[in-house]
Structure 1
Amino acid sequence: MRRIAVVGAGQAGLQLALGLLGAGGYEVTVVSARTPGELLGGPVLSTQAMFGPALRVERAAGLDEWEATAPQVRSVDAALVPEPGVRALEFTMTLDEPAQSVDQRIKMARRLSLVEERGGRVEYRELDRAGLAELAAAHELTVVAAGRGELAGIFERDAARSPFDAPQRRLTALYAHGVGAPDPAAGPRARMHALPGLGELYLQPALTLSGRCDILLWEALPGSPLDCFGDRPPGGEQLRRMRELMAFHLPWEAELWAEAEPTDAGASLYGAITPVVRRPVARTTGGVPVLGIGDAVVVNDPITGQGANSAALAADAYLRAVLERGDAPFTEEWMTALFEEFWDRHARHGVALTAALLTMPDHLQAVFAAAAAHEPVARRLASTYASPADHADWLATADLTAAYLASVGAPAPDGH
């Protein structure tokens, strides 16, 4: 039995741990800062939206427990709001496969219980660097999936791959019941609004502790009028401010939120994320190499919804690599090569797509304008959110975008 430790109980860490237990031949220890009960009784953890490719990975692993109960989102309604109360460039992005969002309090609490049910060991404790050194010394492989706190800092920032050195948005999110739907007959739909110079608003149907809900996420440019939640107000006050902003900028949304209420006492989330890529291997104070996964090494702003999706795909790639390793040692060289393969095949594309959406270069603005008039452009844009590797084929440069838009009869970016 090979001994493997996983530090962190999020999407990547728990999926990897359960995959190893399912394969057999591995003694798996998971270190979690919170018990299932503490997760279920605590605040929301994220604004996750899982797209088709990541959901297929979960399905293949037997971890798709909420497919029948979570809202199945098949399209995203998008609009540009160039000035308060004005909708422009409205279009719908139809997804090739439905997306879904499950409150990670439910998901991770269930998966922690599954680890124990399937013969894994779970240690509920905070882990510092000294504790990590002790853990790594007792295992053949230690994977760090903790994206926050002291342990996230053990992985060195990769400046060449990190497009930003400060948060590009300040985030506030709320899980709510009682939100109206623009077209109830159309089924669950996500909605996104771009407010130039201010930020973005995203709305995502989801499943939470008390059933179906809607997640509202404000992505505010720092210092803009949308950036008014820095004092982290409680849910009721947070909702009041959100309604006030919607009444001024997005009155059609304010109508839909007239009867909304927070889902529970932990329904609010605040933050400011600096997108960053870190080197995948660090050494403990005892000199043992440990491998990073998920948010420990690749952190994206949620504007493109890549976080949970990238973590699921990383867990799948790491699992396959561990199984293929057989009895060979888990060397630092092997760890680096594993991450580099995942970076090349997937992670770099999510990072590039997210950077593009945060900065909106002229050729990407042309794509959104074309999507309002050309359904194939809107569909391909939706597909790129789900499979960001396609970014390299049509969004990475103005020339690539111009060639694609010309092929579908859409206007090219300025200068082409």
Structure 2
Amino acid sequence: MRKITIVGAGQAGLQLGIGLLDKGYSVTAISNRTGEEIARGKVLSSQSMYDMALGHERELGLAFWDKDCPPIQGIHVKAGNAQIGTLLDFRARMSANGQSVDQRLKMPKWMDEFQRRGGNLVIGEVDMDELERLTESADLVLVATGKGELGKLFERDALRCTFDRPQRSIALTYVHGMVPRDDFNALNINLNPGVGELVHFPGLTHSGPCDIINIECVIGGPMDRWDAVKTPAEHLAMTKALIAEFFPGEAARFENIRLTDDNGILYGRVAPTVRHAIGVLPSGRKVLGMGDILVLNDPMTGQGSNNAAKGASMYLDAIVARGSAAFDDAWMDALAAQYWDYAQWSARFTNAMLLPPPPHVMQFLGSCAGNASLAATFADAFNDPKSLSTWFYDPEATLRLLDNAAVAA
């Protein structure tokens, strides 16, 4: 029986570990926190997930919240402000629903499921010396966390990084009491050019259905006021104040929101980063990274958990296909290239949303308001960012798409 050790027990690590257990592998997963500590702690992310990624969970019997979690049924995109007026306003349903389950619910349940299926769950910190010991006893060691010195094992890939610093300061807030939409549950993306974005969508947390708010503030801009916020009450007050000032058309829905709990808040800055996939230990032994440690996106388009789920499925197939052969450098390189072949498109999509759109993208987005097919095409890109690869970044290809859509209409 081949032995696999996974350092990190989040979306990528646990999904892969459970998949490997079902295939007859001996799997150890190492977490620096117990399930109870995760459940009692601060929210970990916003984790909006879409059909392709959710399909991988369902294949493994891990979709425990399908009946309880409010669906994300489509998108609603708005852009503009009082000075320049409305630039964009369109909505579209997705081909299949998404959902967002608080990882404080999800990860403890998955940790229990991992153990129920025969996995060895270890609680503890892993430093470089411990990682060396782990490589001595396992056929393959995967690192699915960038905590502490482990993240330094995986060098930044400067050629694949669009940015070298965070592009937004981000405030995450889980709330009850939002006024529902009158059409469908949406991933709402509101853009105030040069100021930042208000992104929100329905989710599920400890206390039931909720709404999850990401306020993305251009660093140094007028919404970048979060350093002075010290308490949960101040966090909620700042959220409401910024929405009222910079997204007044949305403010009525937020008037009576309240925190789901005092731990339902998070603030920070994310530097979008791509790293090399293979980490070389002092002994010369090698470990393979996965998930956010390899491709870390700003949460603007919600691709982090989706990448983790898709990558875990890809890794599962590659490990099983390897049979009894060694997990050597060539195999690691090939798997890393396969993952990047897909994940690059989520990075490119997210990074494009952080920058002022070029004229052909504005023309496309502007056309979505009057063309349901184009709007649906953009809505489904959140599920599969690679679907944009043949046209969204190419002005001529985009114009051909628009011409064809006009003819079809």
Instruction: Find the residue that maps to 1:354 and give its secondary structure.
Output: helix
Aligned residue pairs total 406
Which residue matches 1:351? 347
Shift of 1:70: 0.4
- Identify the range of structure 1 (357-366 vs 81-90) with the bigger mean alpha-carbon deviation: 81-90
Q: Is contact 1:178-1:259 (8 Å) kept?
A: yes
Which residue type is aligned with residue 346 of structure 2?
G
Q: Report the equivalent of 1:196.
A: 193
- Structure 2 partner of 1:64: 63
Contact 2:87 2:366 in 1 (8 A): no
Aligned to 1:215, the other structure's residue is in SS state strand
- How far the C-alpha of 1:189 sits from its partner, in A, is 2.2
Structure 2 partner of 1:125: 124
- What CA distance in whole angstroms lies between the structure 2 residues aligned with 1:18 and 1:282? 23
Decide whether the 8 Å contact of 2:81 with 2:247 is kept in 1. Answer: no
Residues 361-376 of structure 1: matches in 2 within 5 Å? 361-376=358-373
CA distance in 1, matches of 2:61, 2:78: 37
What one-letter code is carried by the residue in structure 2 that aligns with 1:93?
A
For 1:74 and 1:254, the matched residues in 2 are separated by 22
Deviation of residue 148 (structure 1)?
Answer: 3.7
Distance 2:105 2:228 in 1: 27
Residue equivalent to 2:17: 17
Contact 1:7 1:146 in 2 (8 A): yes
Q: Indicate if the aligned counterparts of 2:100 and 2:203 stay in contact, CA closer than 8 A.
A: yes
Deviation per CA, 1:105-125, whole angstroms, max 9, x where unpaired? Answer: 111111111111111111111
Q: Does 1:89 align with 2:88?
A: yes
Distance of 1:37 and 1:164 partners within structure 2: 36
**Partner of residue 105, structure 1:** 104
1:14 maps to a residue whose letter is L
Is 2:296 the partner of 1:299?
Answer: yes
Q: Please, which of 268, 274, 287 is the counterpart of residue 290 of structure 1?
A: 287
Task: Write the mapping of 1:271-286 to structure 2, written as runs, cut at 5 A.
Answer: 271-286=268-283
CA shift in 2, pair 1:362/1:68, >3 Å: same
Counterpart residue number, 1:50: 49
Q: Contact 2:169–2:219 at 8 Å: present in 1 too?
A: yes
TM-score of the superposed pair, with normalisation by structure 2: 0.96
In the aligned structure 2, how far is the partner of 1:228 from the partner of 1:85?
Answer: 23
SS in 2 for 1:379: helix
Q: Counterpart of 2:215 in 1: which secondary structure? A: strand
Q: Corresponding residue for 1:176?
A: 175
2:135 equivalent in structure 1 = 136
> 1:311-364, CA deviations, whole angstroms, 9 ceiling, x for partnerless residues?
1000000000000111111112211111101212x1111111112111122222
Query: 8 Å contact 1:55–1:64 — kept in the other structure?
Result: yes
Q: Is the 8 A contact 2:171 2:265 kept in 1?
A: yes
- What is the match of residue 267 of structure 2? 270
Q: Percent identity?
A: 38
Q: Distance in 1 between matches of 2:12 and 2:48?
A: 15
Task: State whether residues 128 and 151 of structure 1, in contact with CA within 8 Å, keep that contact through their aligned partners in structure 2.
Answer: yes
Q: In 2, distance between residues paired with 1:316 and 1:94?
A: 26
- Corresponding letter in the other structure for 1:108: M
Task: Judge which range, 67-76 or 82-91, deviates more.
Answer: 82-91
Amino acid at match of 1:348: Q
CA distance in 2, matches of 1:264, 1:223: 29
> Structure 1 residues 215, 309: closer, same or farther in 2, change over 3 A?
same
SS in 2 for 1:173: strand
**Which of the numbers 301, 312, 317 marks the counterpart of 2:314?**
317
Aligned-partner Cα distance in 2 for 1:118–1:292: 24
Q: Which residue of 2 aligns with 1:7?
A: 7
Rounded to whole Å, the distance in 2 between the matches of 1:296 and 1:248 is 36
Letter matched to residue 7 of structure 1: V
Q: What is the distance in 2 between the residues matched to 1:232 and 1:109?
A: 30
CA distance in 2, matches of 1:273, 1:237: 22
- Cα distance in 2, alignment partners of residues 176 and 234 from structure 1: 15
Which aligned segments of 4 or more residues in structure 1 are displaced greater than 6 angstroms?
none
Letter of the 1:219 partner, please give it. Answer: E
Contact 1:147 1:297 in 2 (8 A): no
Structure 2 gap ranges (5+): none
For 1:354 and 1:298, the matched residues in 2 are separated by: 11
User: Could you tell me how far apart the structure 1 residues matched to 2:352 and 2:249 are?
Assistant: 28
| Residues 126-135 or 259-268, more deviating | 126-135
Amino acid in the other structure paired with 1:3? K
TM-score (norm 1): 0.94
Corresponding residue number in structure 2 for 1:414: none
Q: Residues 181, 141 of structure 1: CA spacing in aligned structure 2 closer, same or farther, 3 A cutoff?
A: same
